[in-house]
Amino acid sequence: MKLSRRLVPDVTTLQAFECAARHGSFTQAAAELNLTQSAVSRQIKDLENQLGVLLFERVRQRVILSEAGQKFLPEVRRLLNQTEELMVRAMASARADSTLSIASLPTFGSRWLVPRLPDFLRHHPDTVVNIASRSAPFDFDEQNFDIAIHYGQPVWAHATCSYLCSEIIVPAASPKLLAAKPVSTLEDIVGGPLLHLATRPKLWAQWFEANGMDGRGAYRGNRFDQFSMVIEAATAGLGFALLPRYLIEQELAAGTLRIVLDRPMQTENSYYLAVPEGKLENPISLAFREWITEQVG
């Protein structure tokens, strides 16, 4: 589709708008951007004329966003961030033979993928890898990734999902907690304290029910929005946690966490590799998919 240049704004004009909106002042925006106040005012006026709407209202000595400006600001910030990321990626990969952009689940990326990444890069030394955290599916057309590591069902719009591995969770706790609350049966865990992953609130209930117990009382306890936080909380002795075994390999080896009972449970979802349409035959993406599949095998 051919773009109309008349509708493409100048990046410096968008920067002036974002800066003025953040400060609530053209003068402070001018100071940050090393421009004159009249230059910033002129850029804002040109943008308003281009859009056909008023972006700011003047109240006493300040400027505040109009309703149209408030709607416009989040999109401008997203565009500026994407522009900066584009330049950084281009500069980082300028001398590389290939680049690979990976969207990874946060804790999976930091605790499992990154420690193994040297092996992949040893076989592909001229590849630059960009890894960013994403907790939920996104639009590949809007975010330029070559591959995403996805937990759930093999469903992703405009992408192909291939199975990576299942997930086995185990009940774990710190030696300190186990010394204070020894565990030999399921009943010893029921009273808690239990630690929960906020995005999977039914996990403890499902585990109790899978082991023949009533799970209705399994919702009490502290909640955290990342597995990495649950792991740290469990290591600190705050409670019992249900954790994927692959995420706590280091803690189990070091003895800072122990498996409480030998009652593993396979969760109802699995891990998948999501590849956007049009990038299925990307050579470095194919190499990565083959490598990571071997790593989990």
247 lies in some domain: yes
Higher pLDDT, 8 or 147: 147
* Radius of gyration, alpha carbons of the chain: 25
Q: Say whether both 65 and 128 belong to one domain.
A: no
Looking at 65, 93, 121, which one is the last position of a domain?
A: 93
Q: Say whether both 17 and 108 belong to one domain.
A: no
Q: Say whether both 82 and 116 belong to one domain.
A: no
Q: Say whether both 130 and 248 belong to one domain.
A: no
129 lies in some domain: yes
Mean pLDDT of the chain: 90
Q: How many domains does the chain have?
A: 3
pLDDT at 3: 46
Q: Say whether both 186 and 236 belong to one domain.
A: yes
pLDDT at 1: 44
288 lies in some domain: yes
* CA atoms lying within 13 Å on the CB side of residue 10: 12
- CA distance to 107, 161, 217, 233, 253, per residue, from 58 (Å): 46, 51, 56, 49, 62
Q: Say whether both 261 and 278 belong to one domain.
A: no
Q: Say whether both 134 and 274 belong to one domain.
A: yes
Determine the Cα–Cα distance for residues 210 and 203; give it in Å rounded to an integer.
10
pLDDT in tens, 155-196: 999 999 999 999 999 999 999 999 999 998 888 898 879 999
Q: Say whether both 160 and 274 belong to one domain.
A: yes
Q: Say whether both 71 and 115 belong to one domain.
A: no
Looking at 32, 58, 93, which one is the last position of a domain?
A: 93
**Chain-centre distance for alpha carbon 82:** 16
- CATH for 88: 1.10.10.10
What is the reported pTM?
A: 0.70
DSSP per residue, 132-165:
EE-SS---TTTS--SEEEEEESS--TTEEEEEEE
201 lies in some domain: yes
pLDDT in tens, 179-190: 999 998 888 898
Give the orientation angle of helix 114-123 with respect to helix 283-296, to 10 degrees: 130
60 lies in some domain: yes
Q: Say whether both 22 and 86 belong to one domain.
A: yes
pLDDT at 7: 67
- Bond into 115 cis (ω within 30): no
Q: What is the DSSP letter of 230?
A: H
Q: Say whether both 244 and 180 belong to one domain.
A: yes
Contact yes or no for 147/102 (Cβ under 8 A)? yes
Which residue's entry shows tokens 């953040």?
22
Percent of all residues in the chain with a pLDDT value above 70, rounded to a whole number: 95
- CATH for 139: 3.40.190.10
Looking at 49, 72, 93, which one is the last position of a domain?
A: 93
5 lies in some domain: no
Q: Say whether both 173 and 255 belong to one domain.
A: yes
261 is in which domain, residue-wise? 168-267
At 252, list the tokens. Answer: 């189990």
Determine the Cα–Cα distance for residues 119 and 117; give it in Å rounded to an integer.
5
The mean per-residue pLDDT over the stretch 69-97 comes to: 78
pLDDT in tens, 248-292: 999 999 999 999 999 999 999 999 999 999 899 999 999 999 999
Task: List all residues 6 or more positions away from 26 whose beta carbon is below 8 Å from its beta carbon.
Answer: 20, 37, 40, 41, 44, 63
2 lies in some domain: no
52 lies in some domain: yes
